[in-house]
Amino acid sequence: MDKLTFYVPTMNCASCVAKIDKAMAALASDGEQVETSVNLADKQVTVVGIAQAQRVASALANAGYPGQQVIDQQLAIKERQENERKEYHTRLWQSMAALALGVPMMLWGLLGYEMMINSPAQQVGWGIMGGLTFVLLITTGGHFYRGMYSALKAGSANMDTLIVLGTSSAWLYSMLVVVIPQWFPADTRHVYFEASVMILGLINLGHAMELRARGKTSEAVSKLIGLQVTSATRVTDAGDEIVEISAIKIGDKLRLKPGERVALDGDVLEGQALINEAMLTGEPVPVEKQPEDKLSAGTVNENGSLVYRVTAKQQQTKLAKIIELVQQAQTSKLPIGRLTDKIAAYFVPVVVLIAIVAAIVWFVVGPAPQLSHALVVLTTVLIIACPCALGLATPMSIMVAVGRAAQMGVLLKNGEALQTASKVTTVVLDKTGTITQGKPAVTDVVTIAEMTRDNQLAGNQGVDNEAPSPLSEDKLIALLASAQQRSQHPLAAAMITEAKRRELVLGEVDSFNNITGQGIVAKVGGHTLVAGNLKLMQAEQIGDIALASSHVSDFAQVGKTPIYCAIDGHLQAVVAIADPIKADAQAAVAALLRQGKKVVLLSGDNQHTATAVAQQVGISDVIAEVSPEQKLALIEARQSKGEVVAMVGDGINDAPALAKADVGIAMGSGTDVAIESAGITLLSERVMTLADTFMLANATMNNIKQNLFGAFIYNTLGIPVAAGVLFPFTGWLLSPVVAGAAMALSSLTVVTNANRLRGLRLGAISHEK
């Protein structure tokens, strides 16, 4: 579907979000499916389902929030950062200018000097101060007036409306007292010029500090975008040439020098190098790359030189997709955040009504001087009620959390996946590719010499005296791998990989016979080789196989597959092949259990192997020999018992279960189908990252709840206190200046609290150390 993104710089509170949402919802004509995502944290509006950008732009402008379409996210982020830098400096000088006049006036009153109009001299003196205040209202508060005007044109009200009404009321009342004091009773001729400029000074200062703190929340995306290079070295028949990324086509050959970033995704053609993939996976250890290996854009060549063939354009690279996913997740709404949107839609009009009613009550039944008290209450309620903190509470935490997740190699499809992850009670782990590496490997080689020695020590039979001299391990592996070149079995790949690891030279195969379900018989290098299970050994009448029985039994106990290897009719070795368990799997399972989660191991493999793997990593609940349909049924059964289930897998056969689970978590090494079906993708191979993801989800939801609690408490308590409910008991009435400071501080507190997630200590980091 069509997707349009707009940057809306004038969006600054929760009521703005609600009004934009309403304006975008009204865009949908008959039969149109329009989805809107409004993010206050990065001031972006994303609309899915409308192709005409002008329609969206007009709707935003008509709602009082003109926006600029985002074509290039990289450019948009740079522009936004530059805009925010300029705005920061502007708000800072506006704050300093307002406070430079407001602080001396406030001190004048606090030190006991006259702030009443009782003489012509006082009229002149305070008249000059009123003129200076008016100039500052226009210069340091002009953006609030423009914001209010835009909102009123659209028939609505926003945060700017409250600020303008509050500060203007204080100034207008004071000027009337100065110009025509005879209209006011003597005890009400008080001026409040200092309140107007102090409020503007403190709010502008709060906005400046908020902008500075807010910049840190989008650092993760900025860093990811910074990984995209603008040019690369293309290899041509005429020699190397440096070209812009936009000029590179799929199939072009690029040269990667030491210290350079990979420009685009590709396949290595020649050379060897160590590539740092930490930006993708969070893994600090460089990965060795050689011909046929894949490269990802943005990764760094630490040493060596490569030539690779481009397989994707810039917008189709893995890095580009990661950036898009991160931005999509950062702009998504959590269910917990929708409550604030509903409240904000009615917030400003209700606050204005409360302020007017409170002022009338003070004027009618309040103590003398009624008019002054009514003005103070009106101004204070309008200022303290600004819903900035409420609007920032959820999106700020999401932005930081999604960025933090990306840094540790975790991609969140949307914010809802993060919220659901915080409620998970049961974690279902697929065995292959999740707990294990998903790549069978040779783990043990027991030669006939070792078997003979072990049997002799045990007082058992010896080796056949007619057996040929034992072959060395390397010679044996070379013969096995040579023969397995003709086989498509996964275990054959393990043999070949082992031979490559040992840097052995493979020979030609003279004859090859694959016996289904048993193994192979081949002639290699002048030898007859038989490799397979016990049934094949017996069929081929191989001698000495009884010597291997104890080792075969031991391998079976730990879930390894034993391969008997015979040369020229005599047993030479037993090779154990297994899918190795990931190094941190046991620690990760322990971390999940400490978090209070039930952990289930799910596998299509046989019960014996699955149980052996489960025992090694500390899982007691094992379900093996299950089909994709049975995996799905298992998830449904757990959910029917009230459990919140997370499914972790990496294959096509896991896709149905991943989609059905409350939250699906795909291993990044898995298939595209699995990743597409999941709400969360782990790019790192470490299982501990899974435990970290749940830790981050819990911390994020706690952070959001803290922000919402603080914002609700601030507004819930602030408005009644500002209205003067404490006055009958304490004789204390909240100053508009204090209200302005509190309003600015509430927003800053939310942003600062959200940024605490950036420093969250996670289990994988602790485990690594």
Residue positions annotated with a catalytic role: 430
Angstrom distance (rounded) from CA 319 to CA 297? 6
Of the candidates 281, 256, 280, the residue with the CA atom closest to the CA atom of residue 268: 256
Three-state secondary structure readout of 474-501: HHHHHHHHHHHCCCCCHHHHHHHHHHHH
List helix spans (H) across 180-317.
193-217, 219-226, 278-281
| Bridge partners, 39 (sequence order) | 44
- Helices then strands, counting H and E runs in the chain, come out as 27, 24
- For residue 30, the number of C-alpha atoms closer than 13 Å in the C-beta half-sphere is 0
Angstrom distance (rounded) from CA 34 to CA 684? 35
| Bridge partners, 35 (sequence order) | 48
**Amino acid identity at 642:** G
Angstrom distance (rounded) from CA 153 to CA 149? 6
The answer to whether 46 and 5 have CB atoms below 8 angstroms apart is: yes
Count of C-beta atoms within a 10 Å radius of residue 249: 8
| Bridge partners, 44 (sequence order) | 7, 39
Angstrom distance (rounded) from CA 433 to CA 648? 10
Angstrom distance (rounded) from CA 362 to CA 353? 14
Q: 740's torsion region: left (phi>0), alpha (psi -120 to 50) or beta?
A: alpha
The answer to whether 543 and 464 have CB atoms below 8 angstroms apart is: yes
**Amino acid identity at 180:** I
Angstrom distance (rounded) from CA 727 to CA 374? 13
The answer to whether 260 and 266 have CB atoms below 8 angstroms apart is: no
Angstrom distance (rounded) from CA 160 to CA 154? 14
| Bridge partners, 429 (sequence order) | 601, 648
* DSSP three-state, residue 300: strand
Structure tokens at 537: 């050994």
